[in-house]
Amino acid sequence: MESAYLQKQLGTCLTQGLAEVARVHPMDPIEYLALWIYKYKENATMEQLRQEEMAQLEHERAVALAEQELLERLRAEELLFQQEQLALQLELEMQERERQRIEELERAHEQLDQEMRMNMENIAKDEDALHSEEGAQEAGKTLAEISDRYGAPNLSRVEEVDEPMILDAAETDKMGTENRKT
């Protein structure tokens, strides 16, 4: 049992120290071995601390990378959210512009309809007034006086013209071929 303890605690250290004494051949091998074992212990402690620091640094690096990835994801999501908000805002502005344009068109259409109704009413009133004036003026005129207006046919100058006879199809074809020959 004691040999197992010594083997576990001093086995590697003592073996390496004795190998070093054999290699160097110091003047005082016991002191050299004692100093070497102290240095070995110091080196082992330093290595253990270095390993712990490395593990801590690796852990911190992994945490930092995870945080950085999380921040990048959050930035990407924020950018996407801002883009969606901008697109939504643009869509709402487009809908508002379209609504305003439709309202303007409806107002213009209503105004045009109202103007057309007013014009139609004015035309109807003007025609009624004109017909009543014409009726009053033409009531005492003869047909000849009325027909002298611009655009009315002049009945005194109408001539009767003989109507051309209707030619049958054979005569029309015959006349057409004679005209083509000449």
Report the distance separating Cα 182 and Cα 167, nearest Å.
21
In the predicted structure, residue 138 carries a pLDDT above the cut 80:
no
Q: Are 18 and 30 in contact (CB under 8 A)?
A: no
pLDDT at 115: 92
- What is the per-residue pLDDT for 109? 93
The structure tokens listed for 140 are 């005492």
165: its two tokens: 């006879």
What does the angle CA 9 – CA 11 – CA 17 come to, to the nearest 5 degrees? 115
Confidence of residue 163 (pLDDT cuts 50, 70, 90): low
Instruction: With a cut of 70, say whether residue 68 has pLDDT above it.
Output: yes
Answer yes or no: is pLDDT of 54 > 60.
yes
- Say whether pLDDT at 129 is over 80: no
pLDDT at 58: 95
Angle at 63 between CA 57 and CA 64, to 5 degrees: 85
3 state DSSP class of 17: helix
C-alpha to C-alpha distance for 14 and 33, rounded to whole angstroms: 9
pLDDT (tens digit, 9 = 90+) per residue, 73-108?
A: 999 999 999 999 999 999 999 999 999 999 999 999
Which is more confidently placed, 182 or 123? Answer: 123
Give the mean model confidence (pLDDT) for residues 119-148. Answer: 69
